[in-house]
Amino acid sequence: MKYNEVYENWLGNKYFDDFTKAELINIKDDEKEIEDRFYKDLEFGTAGLRGIIAAGTNRMNIYTVRRATFGLARYILKNVENAAKRGVVIAHDNRHKSREFCLETAKTLAACDIKAYIFEDLRTTPELSFAVRSLNCAAGVVITASHNPSEYNGYKVYGEDGAQFMPKYADMITEEVNSVEDYNIIPEYTDEKSNLIEILTDKQDRDFIETIKNMTVRQDVIDEVGKDFKIIYTPLCGTGSRVVKAVLNEVGFENVEIVPEEEKPDPDFAGIEYPNPEEKKALNRGIELARKRGADLLIATDPDCDRVGVAVKDVNGDYKLLTGNQIGGLLVQYVIESRKEKGILKDNSAIIKSIVTSEFGADIARKNGVEVINVLTGFKFIGDKIKSFEEGVDKEYIFGYEESYGYLPGTHVRDKDGVSTSLLIAEMAAYYNKNGISLYEALQNTYKKYGYYIEENVSMTLKGKDGLEKIQRIINKFRYENTIEGLDIKEKLDFAKGVEEYPKANVLKYIFEDGDWLAIRPSGTEPKLKFYFAVSDCTEEKATEKLEKIKKVVLNIRESVK
């Protein structure tokens, strides 16, 4: 049906409640808004469903949540052994409607005779991944829009291995969801099904926390300096507050202070427009508090606590936000060197990173005899590699990460984990502090040893149907031109056409003669087109000069597309 026909169907269908219909009647004279809400269904991207909270097929609401859940239910009943009894575990963050969407998910599963586990209140995304495996569930769901603005919410789906579904299986779920053309066929929950919904006890929390506490490598360093090492932490009004502070305190970091305005869950994020630890503005309060306290380290996690940002003192005593690539490179080096020190770095050790992540950490790994494996963007691909290691591939996973502030130092979960990463970052910073240098100085020393690596991501937001069409026009402009005037291209990789063993994806990557590179891809979770620039050289000045040259050429081409 055309979008206006779908709109009229929602108005006339008895399945939809009066509140929803009243909202839709209010936009009856806004043709553009009706089109944007109904021209398509929300699609699974790199992290499942994500959209603005409102009525419509292209929005997050109780009906699109039920439809997605019914599709998931049909998928697991057909494809996962003993799925109904094993059940699905559901978590949610602090966003608007998150608890409501969580309960709708549980009720729809119960209506399909599938066991549903829910937490008593909000929980982090990594704990959801942990719970899927610890409870031996058939699948997991977390209601979150990660670091998106407050008007968004989302629905991330996890397989029985605790990782988000790989494209093949996500496509199968999508087929099941898309086959639900009439919402009236979704089974209706009744109180007789309430026995299929179980609220989890705090044992899950303790198991998760104890697992992470046991991941410290240099506990002796924490024992020595943890009492005085000053940490400011902000959960950005999200789910991380209780669990991150508990982990840090219980291993020995006693001097941890949470940014007071951002400690408690808030669906409006205390006025933070974009609660993303990549954004310096989101850390303004944390940096101000760090200045007042003279803190050694500022740690920030996003609302569902799977991403981590860091700010540290620079040589001038001010606080500098590290990039995801810088944090990743430092962590790779720390993990490798600490394992060497303990005599536990094996010959088959490997790190895993995404194709749009800098070579900074990768080159450190290679020069230390550790294999580097590249995967597509999306932590599901890292989780899938970990699974293959456990099922017979002769490699030992020691670390995985993406430039977008997502890291995983262990195999206890199969998604990026802001809790265990916060602990690892604090341990690393304490180690350097014990040795008389800051984390910023450690970064500069690493650059001097391995070369200067500079990266920059440039995103453009283009909302709605017209925006998506323009994003595709820009990608096509680059896709169908094999050269970029003024740049020495060694190799062009079009992942949409197929590259080696990688799944097909709408990503372009240009490798230049000197090893620098450019990548272009649309976001899987937001209406954005992303350009990734990565260069390296013997000095920071030379690297910066190269970066600016490439950016100027590429962004001029981007602006030429109408």
Helix (H, G, I), strand (E, B) or coil at 441: helix
CB 462 within 8 A of CB 479: no
Angle at 138 between CA 421 and CA 181, to 5 degrees: 110
The span from the CA of 388 to the CA of 228, in Å, is 42
Helices 241-251, 203-213: axis angle to 10 degrees equals 50
Tell me the three state secondary structure of residue 80: coil
In the DSSP assignment, the letter for residue 53 is B
| H or E stretch covering 140 | strand 139-143
Residues 6+ apart with CB under 8 A from 59: 37, 42, 51, 52, 53
End-to-end CA distance of the chain: 29
Q: How far is CA 170 from CA 128, 146, 154, 503, 524, in A?
A: 18, 19, 15, 13, 13
Residues whose CB is less than 8 angstroms from the CB of residue 469 and which lie 6 or more positions away in sequence, other chains included: none
Instruction: Decide if 146 is catalytic.
Output: yes
Q: Is 490 helix (H, G, I), strand (E, B) or coil?
A: strand
Enumerate the H helices of 357-438 as residue ranges. 359-367, 379-390, 418-434
3-class DSSP state of 406: strand
Count CA within 13 A, CB hemisphere, residue 376: 28
The position carrying tokens 């007789």 is 192
Three-class DSSP category at 183: helix
Q: Which of 52, 200, 216, 214 is nearest to 128 (CA)?
A: 200
Please state the φ and ψ torsions of residue 551, each to the nearest 5 degrees. -60, -45
CA distance 127 to 514: 42
SS (H, E, C) 228-252: CCCEEEECCCCCCHHHHHHHHHHHC
Q: Count CA atoms closer than 13 A to 58's CA, side-chain side.
A: 18
74-78: Cβ within 8 A, 24+ apart: 74/112, 74/176, 75/169, 75/172, 75/173, 75/176, 76/114, 76/138, 76/139, 77/112, 77/114
Sign (positive/negative) of CA torsion 478, 483, 485, 489? positive
Which is catalytic among the residues 98, 129, 146, 523?
146
User: What is the distance between the alpha carbons of residues 14 and 492, in angstroms, rounded to a whole number?
Assistant: 53
Q: Which structure tokens are listed for 397? A: 């996973």
Give the active site residues.
Answer: 146
